Amino acid sequence: MSISKTRLQNNPLLVIVGPTAVGKTQVSIELARRLDAEIVSADSRLFYRGMDIGTAKPTPAERQGIPHHLIDVADPDEVWSLALFQQAAHQAIGAIHARGKLPILVGGTGQYVKAVIEGWQPPEQPPIPSLRAVLERMAAEQGKDAMHAMLTFLDPIAAQKIDPRNVRRTIRALEVIFSTGRRFSDQRRKTSSPYQVQIIGLTRNRKILYERVDARIEQMLQQGFLDEVRRLLEKYPPDLPAFSAIGYRQMIEVVQGKRTLEEAVAEIKRLTRRYVRQQGAWFREEDPQIHWFDLDQISFEEIFTFVYSWWKEVSQNESSMAK
């Protein structure tokens, strides 16, 4: 179902959230196919070309016939900041509206989704290469925990929202603090959302979800995850921020002979389960703005019926406005 190909004035945006391996890709693609919609990825792991297997990136076959945006938009040695993603996402969504189609924002990276739908305005302070180099050297010498502890001392609110393993974000927050003399958290502002948002959340029983996580990791190995990492290391250094994604760091250590494949797989499964729990902090099941669907209990048709009803109402309102 699609309305006439004219610019959508009320800026509808369907958002699909949920933890890793819950089934967002399959649901979003089927919804896009039935609604003649386009998908905008809000998963920071999918930006990078060549990082396909370890990120569970939708395959070309899965994407066929369904326009996908913000997948394969950068090389691994390019850094995509939150502000850059936000700008690109708004541009993609605006172009989809201009085509009279429904954009579907799909993500497991909570802050990227929130930045788009809540009108975040990241700090405007541009990077300072010399300061960043000093902070990166400190991180290399003292470790990520020491850098995060420094951020906790200077700006506990920002530190609470930044994963200690995400050294790049920790360094960016410290860079802004040192260059402006103000807390990073005080400089991140919100404006009203530019979209008419409908959020659906996908969930499963935690035990089943963990089983799906483990099965996905085993499938990655069968698909050639280790060979993918070897190919990447032929072109890029192993310490790129892009390779901090769960799985890549562990597989790099296998290639380097620092750990066995069995040890790496066990670590990837453990960290992915922890990441699943962390994702729940961004989108809580008690949030009244999110309509949750338990994929262990309901069929896709129930999700489609809900979304179609909303989209039909949006379309009718748009037609009324156009008269």
Q: Which conformational region is residue 100 in: left (phi greater than 0), alpha (psi within -120 to 50 degrees), or beta?
A: left
Is 191 a known ligand-binding residue?
no
Distances (CA, A) of 70 to 133, 139, 246: 28, 29, 20
Is 19 a known ligand-binding residue?
yes
Is 20 a known ligand-binding residue?
yes
Bridge partners for 202 per DSSP: 293
d(CA 228, CA 317): 48
Q: Angle between the 225-233 and 206-223 helix axes, to the nearest 10 degrees?
A: 60
Which amino acid would we find at residue 41? S
Is 235 a known ligand-binding residue?
no
Is 242 a known ligand-binding residue?
no
**202-235 burial code (b ≥16 CB/10 A, e <16):** bbbeeeebbebbbeebeebbeeebbebbeebbee
Is 272 a known ligand-binding residue?
no
Is 257 a known ligand-binding residue?
no
Is 24 a known ligand-binding residue?
yes
Cβ atoms within 10 Å of 67's Cβ, excluding its own = 16
Annotated binding site for ATP: 18-25
Binding site for substrate: which residues?
20-25
Annotated binding site: 18-25
